[in-house]
Chains A and B, each alone.
Chain A
Amino acid sequence: DADVTQTPRNRITKTGKRIMLECSQTKGHDRMYWYRQDPGLGLRLIYYSFDVKDINKGEISDGYSVSRQAQAKFSLSLESAIPNQTALYFCATSDPGQPQHFGDGTRLSIL
């Protein structure tokens, strides 16, 4: 089983819909992150959490929200999806001072 699991792997939805992307990890890491990847733009940080009671905005948090339900679970929500949120979304985990480990991503298309 993968250490960092993202669900769903692919999602097509319509403008205005609420969407939740989920991330779970078996690595026991305290820190979890959500990134967005767009062609030619690299990865940009949306939100991050250093422990269950800690939530921080990243570079591009507008239009997104997160919930850290447990140490192992970190979900990303789009309250009202818009087409320019079409992208690849990655969850990552780490311990302090250690490399980040990424899931295999969720490909989200908003029509």
Chain B
Amino acid sequence: QQQVKQSPQSLIVQKGGISIINCAYENTAFDYFPWYQQFPGKGPALLIAIRPDVSEKKEGRFTISFNKSAKQFSLHIMDSQPGDSATYFCAASKGDGGSQGNLIFGKGTKLSVKP
């Protein structure tokens, strides 16, 4: 049973456009929702994360929108650049006191930003 569903599988965006990647989760006990960015030949690196007590978090050009009632969260990349071309993974975990337990990952979205 896939607990975190991510879409789309791949995404092509023009430079300067907005990239949007969506994730849906099933387990209401999840309380930590990170996004990871992975470049070829490298491990995933934390990009931005959110907890369910807020509906939006912004860091530079990257924004997470969180909808607790719909059990959905999304990553928005504003003014997308060719250097943003990478694979993006959403994830979720549950734990007591906000501790990271086991991360459950989505299947990933390969983003290509065309010049």
Contacts and interface: CB of A to CB of B under 8 A. Distances in A.
Interface in B67-109: 89, 95, 97-100, 102-103, 105-108
Interface stretch (B12-20, B42-50, B55-63): B42-50
A42 B100 contact: no
A101 B34 CA distance: 12
Contacts, number: 52
B9 interface: yes
A82 B106 CA distance: 25
Interface residues of A, number: 23
Given A40-B107, A41-B107, A42-B105, A96 B100 contact: yes
20 contacts: A4-B43, A40-B107, A40-B108, A41-B107, A42-B6, A42-B89, A42-B107, A43-B44, A43-B105, A58-B102, A96-B100, A97-B95, A97-B98, A97-B100, A98-B100, A101-B46, A102-B36, A102-B43, A102-B45, A103-B43
